[in-house]
Amino acid sequence: MKDTGILLINCPDQKGLVAAIADFLFRHNGNILHADQHQDGTLNLFLTRVEWDLRDFDLSLENFDAAFSPIAQRFSMEWRLTCSGPRPRIAVFVSRHDHCLADLLYRQKSGELHGEIVLIISNHPDTRWLAEFYQIPFHHFPIAPDTKALTEKAQLGLLKSHGVDLVVLARYMQILSGDFIREYPRRIINIHHSFLPAFHGAKPYHRAFERGVKLIGATSHYVTETLDDGPIIEQDVIRISHRDNLEDLVQKGADLEKMVLSRAVKWHIQNRVLVYANKTVVFD
Amino acid sequence: MKDTGILLINCPDQKGLVAAIADFLFRHNGNILHADQHQDGTLNLFLTRVEWDLRDFDLSLENFDAAFSPIAQRFSMEWRLTCSGPRPRIAVFVSRHDHCLADLLYRQKSGELHGEIVLIISNHPDTRWLAEFYQIPFHHFPIAPDTKALTEKAQLGLLKSHGVDLVVLARYMQILSGDFIREYPRRIINIHHSFLPAFHGAKPYHRAFERGVKLIGATSHYVTETLDDGPIIEQDVIRISHRDNLEDLVQKGADLEKMVLSRAVKWHIQNRVLVYANKTVVFD
Amino acid sequence: MKDTGILLINCPDQKGLVAAIADFLFRHNGNILHADQHQDGTLNLFLTRVEWDLRDFDLSLENFDAAFSPIAQRFSMEWRLTCSGPRPRIAVFVSRHDHCLADLLYRQKSGELHGEIVLIISNHPDTRWLAEFYQIPFHHFPIAPDTKALTEKAQLGLLKSHGVDLVVLARYMQILSGDFIREYPRRIINIHHSFLPAFHGAKPYHRAFERGVKLIGATSHYVTETLDDGPIIEQDVIRISHRDNLEDLVQKGADLEKMVLSRAVKWHIQNRVLVYANKTVVFD
Amino acid sequence: MKDTGILLINCPDQKGLVAAIADFLFRHNGNILHADQHQDGTLNLFLTRVEWDLRDFDLSLENFDAAFSPIAQRFSMEWRLTCSGPRPRIAVFVSRHDHCLADLLYRQKSGELHGEIVLIISNHPDTRWLAEFYQIPFHHFPIAPDTKALTEKAQLGLLKSHGVDLVVLARYMQILSGDFIREYPRRIINIHHSFLPAFHGAKPYHRAFERGVKLIGATSHYVTETLDDGPIIEQDVIRISHRDNLEDLVQKGADLEKMVLSRAVKWHIQNRVLVYANKTVVFD
């Protein structure tokens, strides 16, 4: 895999944007590997992701800011620079259902996920076996209403001490407080077991079964302070029939959840996801 | 196509049901072509659809009721007998978007839809060209709030005089009254341009676009007095991306709507749809 | 889960078949839970799967044969009786790619797969870690052309001594001999990483990439003596685009392979698969 | 819809390409609306599509060639300039199955297809009713082996006299000669009723039915001199089951064919399709 720099940019649309960015990279001897841009015509926004080879690039990432700032200011850009090298450090929160956790752990071990799961936190002890097998620190925090604030504080302490960049809620059935969420803006990814916005909140499979829908879904999104309302990163669905009882829905849904969550995490790690207006652009 | 009899049955589950039905048909020399049964374990219900060849069947459909009643009573069956021969007479209601109407008309003409569209009713004159091409009576009823009751009465009159068996709302953007709906229970099929229950009500594509979902859907359901809440017959979805603007959603959605509505209408005509507990079993 | 009996039947179509079977079960006090039947009109075949509750059933499975034989003979049935109780014993063969093996092991441990993986056989040592973690006997058989016959003999010995009912080739990149296959007719399930019959044989992802297809697939089938030509149990596909390079195809395909193979194995274990005319009916 | 210019470029990958193109358009006061680029790492190729607003663009399309040529030569580009304004003139060839023709005609009339169907050619008279309804010239050419060359010559004459830009084979069951194909390179689009490369050639639904596949497909591709082997533009599939007989396959397939062909035609018209190495990049 090449060592690359990645720019995610969001600004008012205007002439010369592509030329200015491409010219800047070219002047510093950067070979563009991928460049994708998108206009949101309704909001008159220009959104782009540019990825270039860092070999031969004559600007160090420390000096990038100073060099790029004039362009960013001229076009009133919101921008973010990352590079493909470092593997983000991930904490996974989980409750009893372990299929998403097991899936993420396997994908990391197999090399598919370019990140490092450094911490597993659960309100139940059930998934400790997986943590032990993959030799990852496991912390069990039983939940009680009156200790929730304290628990979250302890959890945040662990995240800091492990240098966590990304929090993944892999079927974690607790609601995080606003205080917690604000510590990791756009860096907490959840999997919800329905095709949002249908069946947000509790027991989506039960409600899907009762409503008699013909497809069930799963949705991965960034967590915001409004439950199940954050920017959607990925969704998918699978067909069900009257032959499927509630247990079948849960089982079919589990396969969906694994795929949808792992795609969202992968894309986040690859810096493909740009958030604006409570939506995402996933540059593919 | 064979001339067949079709029984749709719904009753409490108990031993001997399949044997009783199969034995009854066998004694009258009926060869079962399809038999599908389903248990709803939650509600302890037995639901079945049996289709048999009417050739050699020694019971006329007029006498069927008397002969079958003892079995029906013994097992407390709700049951319905139909046969494949007669082509149901269909009225299509439409507003301005004509893609579903055009699709149904083409499918009828090509022989795919075993029904006869005998009437087109619209609150706009825009689709008259299609009616004329396919030589089907077209009635234009402009809608005004204070004449709605009168209009519906006139429409019902037309349905009666044309002997209509099934009403299809092919993107008809008016809400029918309870009085109207009660005249055609489980015989009014609507297409809603979202993946219900997400985005029920008005402007679903706009709301899907704003929410940033990654798939859009269409849902065909029987109309009940609660808006967009009737038993779902069929649903499907298609993937969208940030590259799709609102107009693209509308166009991709149109293809979905055509397929989903035409499947629902076809299955209804083939007597494959059994409604219970505000859900459907679609025997395939 | 209920203790059930399952009959899979295949015979020339004729009147009275459903009645005869249902009546037989009813007379022995069996409550039918599922009954699905299918006609192949081209071949004039009747194919059915009936599942009934063994509680209260007054016939022991040892005596079933004698009691049912007169019916079977009258209708010239090919039939097979199984019951839901015993968990089939499974051997998994694997080469280097371990995603399907890891997936099957996890599904067994989570209770989704109603079978027992009792043996893992590989021509490489790479997957030993998984076997050790799940505490399943692992046997490494390096492959050399001149010892193939001997190796297969040793493998067959292991299968016998472990009482194996089902062999799953979970990306096993060796071709089994006819002698081996004939020992487990319709009991060896393979996963092929293409949408068969497209790209049968070697390197399907490479060939899909070169041909520029827009979807890639995976196929699970019973192994027969003609390579990649056995009865297909399940297939699925996923969309790719020009942005996907060969490595992306392999990764997307891996997710497909896991799902397709695990469905096929699950359905086989549930006695849902009836083979005839080199095809399958999967009763769902 | 905006009036836009579109460049499709294919050249060896090298530094400065994006900058050179973007800078050229910027210097001529063009606002880039979409720019997508792709690298084929295996072949070391750079492939791009750039679309810009022609309003305020200070270069006329007549002068574009001279102005852009130095850049094109520097980077050894194969390139093609088109603009969104003119509606391509389309000839549709069809045999007896009229679903794709009817679909294309409806999409054109509804404004979805930004092209003009100016000519319908068939080896059967069956679809004349559609041509008459949409008031499009219809030419019937019965096919006989010994007059094939003459017939094709007459057909080519019609294409020329109607100024046809694009030929669509909408289930045209005749094989065009190499001489014919060479007159419209990469401008003849076919729909094949299978998931190519599976079931190329005759009777794909029959063969899919016999092989017992679990999904059927449709493929739209540019016609080349090797049958069913041209660059694939779009494919899709639909699930079938043992309950579907051959007739059901044909009907389900017809819906696929319509969607797949209409997408391919739409993308071709929007100049989204770049062909290289017998594959396509479809810029979306």
Q: How far is C204 from chain B (nearest CA, A)?
A: 26
pLDDT at C96: 96
Chain D CA closest to residue B96: D110
Q: Mean pLDDT over all residues of chain D?
A: 95
Q: How far apart are CA D213 and CA D207, in angstroms?
A: 9
Beta strands in B129-272, from DSSP E residues, in sequence order: 138-140, 166-169, 188-192, 215-222, 232-239
User: Given a contact as 3+ CB pairs under 8 Å, which chains touch D?
Assistant: A, B, C
Q: Which positions in chain C touch A255 (Cβ < 8 Å)?
A: 259
- Token pair 């070391």 in the structure block, residue: D44
Q: D4-83 sits in which CATH class?
A: alpha beta
- Do A102 and C99 count as a contact with CB atoms less than 8 A apart? no
Task: Say if residues B120 and B139 touch (Cβ distance below 8 Å).
Answer: yes
Helical segments of chain C, H only: 17-27, 61-74, 99-109, 128-133, 148-161, 178-183, 204-211, 246-269
Q: How far apart are CA A231 and CA A217, in angstroms?
A: 16
Q: How far is B44 from chain D (nearest CA, A)?
A: 27
Q: Is the pLDDT reported for residue B257 higher than 90?
A: yes
Q: How far is D203 from chain C (nearest CA, A)?
A: 15
Per-residue pLDDT reduced to its tens digit, B142-183: 988 888 999 999 999 999 999 999 999 999 999 999 999 999
pLDDT at D38: 85
The angle at the Cα of D209, spanning D203 to D210, to the nearest 5 degrees, equals 90
- Residue A171: pLDDT band (50, 70, 90) is very high
Task: Say if residues A214 and B234 touch (Cβ distance below 8 Å).
Answer: yes
Q: How far apart are CA C10 and CA C37, in angstroms?
A: 10
Query: For chain B, what are the domain ranges?
Result: 4-83, 89-282
Task: State the count of interchain CB pairs (< 8 A) between B and C.
Answer: 56
Query: What mean pLDDT comes out for the span D30-48?
Result: 89
Q: Which positions in chain C touch D234 (Cβ < 8 Å)?
A: 214
Q: What is the CATH number of domain D89-282?
A: 3.40.50.170
Task: Say if residues D253 and D205 touch (Cβ distance below 8 Å).
Answer: yes
pLDDT at B252: 96
pLDDT at C35: 87
Q: Classify C159 as helix, strand or coil.
A: helix
Chain centre distance of CA C204: 22
pLDDT at D1: 67
Of C98, C110, C251, the CB nearest to A99: C110
- Residue B38: pLDDT band (50, 70, 90) is confident
Of A241, A251, A284, the CB nearest to C112: A251
- Do A235 and B215 count as a contact with CB atoms less than 8 A apart? yes
Per-residue pLDDT reduced to its tens digit, A211-225: 999 999 999 999 999
Give Rg (Cα) of chain A.
Answer: 21
Query: What mean pLDDT comes out for the span D6-26?
Result: 93
Q: Is the pLDDT reported for residue A35 higher than 90?
A: no
D228 catalytic per annotation: yes
Rounded percentage of chain B residues whose pLDDT exceeds 90 = 89
**What does the pLDDT profile of chain C (284 residues) look like in tens digits?**
689 999 999 999 998 899 999 999 999 999 888 888 888 888 999 999 999 999 999 999 889 999 999 999 999 999 999 999 889 999 999 999 999 999 999 999 999 999 999 999 999 999 999 999 999 999 999 988 888 999 999 999 999 999 999 999 999 999 999 999 999 999 999 999 999 999 999 999 999 999 999 999 999 999 999 999 999 999 999 999 998 999 999 999 999 999 999 999 999 999 999 999 999 999 98
Query: Which residues, other chains included, contact C53 with Cβ-Cβ below 8 Å and sequence gap of 6+?
Result: C2, C3, C4, C30, C31, C33
Q: Is the pLDDT reported for residue A1 higher than 70?
A: no
Query: What mean pLDDT comes out for the span D27-36?
Result: 90
pTM of the shown model: 0.96
- Do D23 and A19 count as a contact with CB atoms less than 8 A apart? yes
Phi/psi zone of residue A235: left (φ > 0), alpha (ψ -120 to 50 degrees), beta?
beta
User: Given a contact as 3+ CB pairs under 8 Å, which chains touch A?
Assistant: B, C, D
Q: How far apart are CA B241 and CA B35, in angstroms?
A: 42
Residues 228-247 of D with CB under 8 A from C: 231-232, 234-237, 241-243, 245-246
Q: Is the pLDDT reported for residue D149 higher than 70?
A: yes
Of B98, B243, B259, the CB nearest to D255: B259
Chain A CA closest to residue B210: A279
Per-residue pLDDT reduced to its tens digit, A105-126: 999 999 999 999 999 999 999 9
Task: Say if residues A129 and A113 touch (Cβ distance below 8 Å).
Answer: no
- Token pair 């009916």 in the structure block, residue: C281
- Residue A195: pLDDT band (50, 70, 90) is very high
Q: Which positions in chain D touch C212 (Cβ < 8 Å)?
A: 231-232, 277-280
Q: Given C98, C103, C165, C228, which residue is catalytic?
A: C228
Order across the sheet with C215-222: list the strands: C138-140, C116-122, C89-94, C166-169, C188-192, C215-222, C232-239
In this structure, what token pair is assigned to residue A25? Answer: 């990279």
Q: How far apart are CA A49 and CA C243, in angstroms?
A: 14
Per-residue pLDDT reduced to its tens digit, B70-121: 999 999 999 999 999 889 999 999 999 999 999 999 999 999 999 999 999 9
Chain D CA closest to residue A22: D19
- Do C251 and A112 count as a contact with CB atoms less than 8 A apart? yes
In this structure, what token pair is assigned to residue A274? Answer: 């740009």
Q: Which positions in chain B touch D241 (Cβ < 8 Å)?
A: 284
Query: Which residues, other chains included, contact C270 with Cβ-Cβ below 8 Å and sequence gap of 6+?
Result: C84, C114
Query: What mean pLDDT comes out for the span D70-93?
Result: 95
Task: Say if residues B231 and B256 touch (Cβ distance below 8 Å).
Answer: no
- Do A41 and B278 count as a contact with CB atoms less than 8 A apart? no
pLDDT at B35: 87
pLDDT at C1: 66
